[in-house]
Amino acid sequence: MSVTEQGLLERDKDTMTLNMGPQHPSTHGVFRVILEMDGEIVKTAEPEIGYLHTGIEKNCENKRYIHVIPMTDRLDYLNPPGNNLAFCLTTEKLLGVEIPERAQSLRVIMCELARIASHLVWLGTHALDIGAMTVFLYCWREREMVLDLNEEVSGVRMMTSYIRVGGVAKDATRPWLDGIRDFIDYFPAKVDEYELLLTNNPIWIDRTQGIGVLSREEAIDWSLSGPALRASGVNWDIRKSHPYSGYEKYSFDVPVYQGGDIYDRYRVRIEEMRQSREIVKQAIEKLPAGDYKTPDNKVSLPPRETLDTSMEALIHHFKLVSEGISVPKGEAYVPIEGPRGEVGFYIVSDGTNIPYRVKLRAPSFMAIPGIWELTYLASQEYSCPT
């Protein structure tokens, strides 16, 4: 009998069944968990999802490839550039187009800034739930800087849609590059500041160390990815194992910790913010000159000035605007390393300008099935000490 069938808030032996969410102060998003509590210890947690089911995959089936990109922004709304990139890389794999080096660097910069912004939201809200309001305010202070940079280059704070099939939406601007230089000088001291507030804080340590432990095997079995996997001692980062967008050119470390608890997941993310800043620094220093999108006019619009002189350019422009990109028949999957783990799109194309099927591999969704089983197994160990 599942916990739900027994009814909520019902006392059963020594434990109490408690409903958490979907509206709850610490669910930043809508997610319901049915908890079996023994005092303050969560013995089992049964997740219930679907409160934010949006049907994006279905919508993608009647949108042109270019129109899918704004939909991907809103999948994981803390990492829009990463989602754009995963979709574009998969489409580009089907198309077989080469992406100019400058476009690749711009994509990397956007994705790493998004990783920093995403980790800041995680850190801020997590600290807030434990009662550290200061960290929340500090994290948002730095996040606003990243959002301002997004707005400078793409016109939007969050849903940038900056990465497009064939390159990026527009070239880097001078204020944007200057802003990033300022940010990478400013940011490391701020990460130290968060660490000063939390890393040796006894309350933080009490409430994170040894809690929610996932062993190396469990983490792999439950298909975890990203920081959660690396905190359990698995050195797995798609940026290193299957480099894309020129990640092989940058030197950065992949932080790995062995504890598998919340504290180690915190340390992995803190270190990742520093490494992301390193990558952005290198990308800015070595930003190549050249095109910001592919010169292939079947994929990206020809430059505006050529439309007045070249009939061919005009035809390409008309075809691309009225019909969109036609992707050859086939199927492809390209994963990227998002802030939460492996983000990947599986696209089936039937040779038209509309994808036949788009399947998303979202890291948090893949991690959810493990919650129930893991807490259940943990409770078995808890009740039968050997």
Query: Which residues are near other proteins by CB under 8 A?
Result: 22-25, 28-30, 50-56, 58-59, 70-71, 74, 77-78, 121, 125, 136-137, 140-141, 143-144, 147, 157-159
Instruction: Provide, rounded to whole angstroms, the least separation between the CB of residue 273 and other proteins.
Output: 18
Residue among 105, 49, 275, 268 at smallest CA distance from 184:
275
Q: Which is nearer to other proteins, 143 or 164 (CB)?
A: 143
Q: Which is nearer to other proteins, 151 or 296 (CB)?
A: 151
Q: Which is nearer to other proteins, 21 or 167 (CB)?
A: 21
Instruction: Provide, rounded to whole angstroms, the least separation between the CB of residue 30 and other proteins.
Output: 6
- Could you tell me which residues come within 8 angstroms of residue 384 by beta carbon, excluding any fewer than 6 positions away? none
Euclidean distance between CA atoms 166 and 300, whole angstroms = 6
Instruction: Provide, rounded to whole angstroms, the least separation between the CB of residue 359 and other proteins.
Output: 16
SS3 112: helix
CB atoms within 10 A of CB 155: 12
Instruction: Provide, rounded to whole angstroms, the least separation between the CB of residue 331 and other proteins.
Output: 23
Euclidean distance between CA atoms 354 and 61, whole angstroms = 7
| Beta strand spans in the chain (E) | 11-12, 15-20, 32-38, 41-48, 163-164, 167-168, 330-337, 342-349, 357-361
Q: Which is nearer to other proteins, 145 or 219 (CB)?
A: 145
Instruction: Provide, rounded to whole angstroms, the least separation between the CB of residue 277 and other proteins.
Output: 21
Q: Which is nearer to other proteins, 157 or 329 (CB)?
A: 157
Instruction: Provide, rounded to whole angstroms, the least separation between the CB of residue 70 and other proteins.
Output: 7
Contacts 24+ apart (CB under 8 A), 265-268: 265/227, 265/228, 265/231, 266/123, 266/126, 266/198, 266/208, 267/199, 267/231, 268/227, 268/230, 268/231
Q: Which is nearer to other proteins, 139 or 180 (CB)?
A: 139
Alpha-carbon radius of gyration of the chain: 23
